[in-house]
Structure 1
Amino acid sequence: MNSNLALFLIPIAYLIGSISFAVVVSKCMRLPDPHSYGSGNPGATNVLRTGNKLAAVLTLIGDALKGYIAVILARILLGDESLTSTLGSWVLCGVVIAVFLGHLFPIFHGFKGGKGVATACGILFGINWILGLATLSTWIIVAMFMRYSSLAALAAAIFGPIYFVFLFGLQPMGLALLVVCILLIWRHRSNIQNLMNGTESRIGSKKKAATENKDSAK
């Protein structure tokens, strides 16, 4: 693939990531803008606060799919270069970071994005289904035993790059996933503070309006 065309995949990935499905689904289903209620976070957890479970599920699927599609599209267009050439591997790394940044700072929605958990999951499955499954399993296990969605997200973010290195060795993609991990942790900084203070809400618990924590989803 031509090097200029290959590099063009990075801004395309950013634009794909900039599609906020929380906003799109809410508009299509005539729900309030997710920025205007709850935590103000455009993600599935906040959309669920409207009481519309279908909207929340569609948001979750959409945010995950955009990460998956961006990576798969790049892999298809790059072909074997995504694995064998230096340029191809670094372009794929750029695509991973770009689609994640698009979700965090979407140009279509005033750069007010989500926290990136679902999108990161989609990215991992796009890279390799075993990697995605291992990381998703980490989230599920921590969430089941600790009952904190944010803690599960943080654990999955940390173990994602570790699983990649374990499965594929030291490659540029490991560095890209480390960047995603750091960004995801940074977006959860308020949740980390709540966990340290003992005020983070558990999965399934009811929050009082006056002490509502920011959600830890997208």
Structure 2
Amino acid sequence: MDRFDDQHRMKEVPMEGVSFGINPFVWGIYNLIDGGILRAVLQHNTFTENQAAVLFGVCFFLCAVLSYLIGSINCALVISRLFYHEDVREKGSGNAGATNVLRNYGKKAAILTLLGDGFKGVLCILIASAVFGAPESEMLYFHQVHACYLSAFFCVLGHVLPCFSKFRGGKGVATMALAILALNPLIFAILLALFVALVAMSKYVSLGSVVGAMFYPVILHSFDSMEGSSHYGVGLYALMLGLLVLWAHRGNLKRITSGTERKLSFSRQKSETVSENDTSDAASSDHSTQDRQ
């Protein structure tokens, strides 16, 4: 029976493609961890190919479940309940995200929410990296990168549909953004510039978020193609992330097309007006079914 031995572990690792990295800056934080739980297990034990496949599958499953649970911890809800003794989903637009926190509780609370929700994605990628470890073979490298992207997706899924909050979460933008920063810093910089430009021109945060999310798989694939690599699995995870964020913003997109979507304003007076209008809108059944998902 075939063994999972040094022949699988000692191949030189190809480092081409932006999804895997063209230089240390673009690699992302997932290549900073040396060692790894799975790598140590494989080095100190002898497995058949089938046993190794089961081990990899279990690790992928655990990374996905843990990432979903971490993503389900909604920082907007934690901050609103801890500091304001309210449920942010009962305020403004009803969305448990940084934009609604900004409108109702101010910039400091919004920044804390943004950083907290974003850090979740980074944490999940770090955990996946700790499980698989820095790659020393082509196969381990392949599985490590896919585990990181898988963890990022399930973390965003947990944020959008959290099991701890009756599946009423946020839009997943901050979590996805920091995950992209951890995975592809160069692509993050491009998407951030695109997001800022769109929001500055339209004042619609939701529009910039959706466009950025949908452009992520496109830019990722474009850079991979220029490098002569084709990592379709990674591109699929990126596409799933974009579609998830698009789905979470479906209500916002409908209001943009109808001209009823609220525009971002850092003016205190305007923000208060927006907050009052959103509170009135949140009482209607239409917004209850669209914004709170």
TM-score computed with the length of structure 2 as normaliser: 0.67
Amino acid at match of 1:79: G
Identify which of 194, 200, 204 aligns with 1:144.
200
Q: CA deviation at 1:41?
A: 1.0
In the alignment, structure 1 residue 60 sits paired with structure 2 residue 121:
no
Distance 1:83 1:142 in 2: 42
> SS in structure 1 opposite 2:105?
coil
Instruction: Specify the alignment match of 2:160 in structure 1.
Output: 104
Q: CA deviation at 1:83?
A: 8.9
Distance 1:105 1:140 in 2: 26
CA contact 1:131–1:163 (8 Å) conserved in 2: yes
From the superposition, tell whether residues 176 and 157 of structure 1 become closer, same or farther in structure 2 (CA, over 3 Å): same
CA contact 1:83–1:89 (8 Å) conserved in 2: no
TM-score computed with the length of structure 1 as normaliser: 0.88
Identify which of 237, 257, 261 aligns with 1:196.
257
CA contact 1:6–1:88 (8 Å) conserved in 2: no
How many residues were matched structurally?
Answer: 217
From the superposition, tell whether residues 22 and 211 of structure 1 become closer, same or farther in structure 2 (CA, over 3 Å): closer
Q: CA deviation at 1:88?
A: 3.3
In the alignment, structure 1 residue 115 sits paired with structure 2 residue 171:
yes
Amino acid at match of 2:258: N
Distance 1:48 1:96 in 2: 25
From the superposition, tell whether residues 168 and 48 of structure 1 become closer, same or farther in structure 2 (CA, over 3 Å): same
Distance 1:126 1:104 in 2: 20
Give per-residue Cα distances to partners, 1:167-203, cap 9 Å, x unaligned.
3343211110101111111111111111111222222
**Which protein is bigger by CA-based radius of gyration?**
2
The worse-fitting range, judged by mean Cα deviation, of 89-98 and 150-159 is 89-98
In the alignment, structure 1 residue 180 sits paired with structure 2 residue 244:
no
Distance 1:139 1:82 in 2: 36
The worse-fitting range, judged by mean Cα deviation, of 17-26 and 157-166 is 157-166
Distance 1:99 1:165 in 2: 22
Distance 2:173 2:146 in 1: 23
Identify which of 26, 39, 46 aligns with 2:100.
46
Percentage of pairs with the same residue:
30
CA contact 1:9–1:95 (8 Å) conserved in 2: yes
Instruction: Specify the alignment match of 1:32 in structure 2.
Output: 86
Distance 2:133 2:125 in 1: 12
From the superposition, tell whether residues 34 and 82 of structure 1 become closer, same or farther in structure 2 (CA, over 3 Å): farther
Distance 2:104 2:127 in 1: 33
CA contact 1:82–1:88 (8 Å) conserved in 2: no
Amino acid at match of 2:76: A
Amino acid at match of 2:252: N
Identify which of 208, 223, 227 aligns with 1:167.
223
> SS in structure 2 opposite 1:40?
coil
The worse-fitting range, judged by mean Cα deviation, of 153-162 and 79-88 is 79-88
The worse-fitting range, judged by mean Cα deviation, of 157-166 and 4-13 is 4-13
Amino acid at match of 2:159: H
